[in-house]
Amino acid sequence: MQTQTTLVSHTIDGGLAEIVLNRPDKLNALTLDMIEQVHAALQAAEAQPVRALILRGEGRAFCAGRDLSGVDPATDDAERVLAEVVNPLIRRVREFRAPTFAAVQGACLGVGLGLALACDVVIAAEDARIGSPFARIGAVLDSGGHAFFVERLGSHRALELIYTGRLLSGTEAAAWNLVNRSVANDRLLAEVREIASAAASGPTLAFESSKRLIHRVLDEHLSLEEVLGAEAAAQGAASRTDDYREGFAAFQTKRAPRFTGT
């Protein structure tokens, strides 16, 4: 199934969804209309038995952030835009039930950075430019950037990037553990599609349980004892699925498993 809109396109094929920011002439900078179209694409994916999702940008950039070209700083209600428009989208990407993958090339800034880091796995092109140079416009890092930076980099490097406005290449971002890894530009999309397709063919109910548990570890700061209990409960639930039984049968008969996500 495929739908096409002016600024965002999405496909769902064999359980793998792909959402594409499609404003390449403006480096996929997000307008309010574009954000609504991303919501619509996510809603379409949520309504289908999607087993993995890819988020990417068309052209030279992933996303250069919010489109500020027509914004008057004297009248812009930045708090409302973040609270009512941007933040719900960041949350929705992060909370998408299936594994999510971002393919990042070129500029990945501001809201674009938040969208990428809200995905479970981020693969970046070697010459991507990743960061939030908000210091240049007197603005505060947003779109979840403080949480993502501190989780992945530590407070010292988070503040370095905030104070300097430095942009990391994909290679540097991988070395700093801000993204999972970097690849050659011409391999980016193939690499992300390969890993996302592999996840989509895996035991996705088990993956979803792990994703929820990892979010709880980060958000609730669970103790080891709490994690052990949550893992036991999740394993008990997994043991009642078709995928669990298929996985055991495949292991015992030395064949490849055929998971269905049920």
Q: Are 121 and 101 in contact, with CB atoms under 8 Å apart?
A: yes
pLDDT attached to residue 68: 84
Residues with Cβ within 8 Å of 256's Cβ and at least 6 positions away in sequence, in order, are 250
Q: Which amino acid is at 37?
A: Q
DSSP string of 65-99, one letter each residue: -B--TT--TTT--HHHHIIIIIHHHHHHHHT-SS-
All CATH 3.90.226.10 domain ranges in the chain, comma separated: 2-200
Quick one: fold of 2-200?
2-enoyl-CoA Hydratase; Chain A, domain 1 (3.90.226)
H/E element, 159: helix 155-164
DSSP symbol at 29: P
All CATH 1.10.12 domain ranges in the chain, comma separated: 204-253
pLDDT attached to residue 3: 45
Phi, psi of 49 (to 5 degrees): -75, 60
Q: How many CA atoms lie within 13 A of 252 on its CB side?
A: 6
pLDDT digits (tens, 9 = 90+) for 93-119: 999 999 999 999 999 999 999 999 999
Residue closest to 130 by CA, chosen among 183, 174, 173: 173
- Angle at which helix 111-118 crosses helix 145-153, to 10 degrees, equals 50
Q: Is 227 helix (H, G, I), strand (E, B) or coil?
A: helix
Q: What CATH number labels 204-253?
A: 1.10.12
Distance of alpha carbon 202 from alpha carbon 261, whole angstroms? 8
Residue closest to 191 by CA, chosen among 104, 99, 93: 104
Instruction: Give the pTM.
Output: 0.94
Strands in 121-125's sheet, in edge-to-edge order, are: 2-4, 8-13, 16-21, 52-57, 100-104, 121-125, 181-183
Q: Are 132 and 104 in contact, with CB atoms under 8 Å apart?
A: no
pLDDT attached to residue 73: 80
Q: How far is residue 43 from each of residues 1, 38, 196, 206, 230, measured CA to CA in Å?
A: 14, 9, 19, 22, 29
Q: Are 192 and 103 in contact, with CB atoms under 8 Å apart?
A: yes
Per-residue pLDDT of the chain (262 residues; tens, 9 = 90+): 444 457 999 999 989 999 999 999 999 999 999 999 999 999 999 999 999 999 999 999 999 999 988 787 878 888 999 999 999 999 999 999 999 999 999 999 999 999 999 999 999 999 999 998 888 888 999 999 999 999 999 999 999 999 999 999 999 999 999 999 999 999 999 999 999 999 999 999 999 999 999 999 999 999 999 999 999 999 999 999 999 998 889 899 999 999 988 8
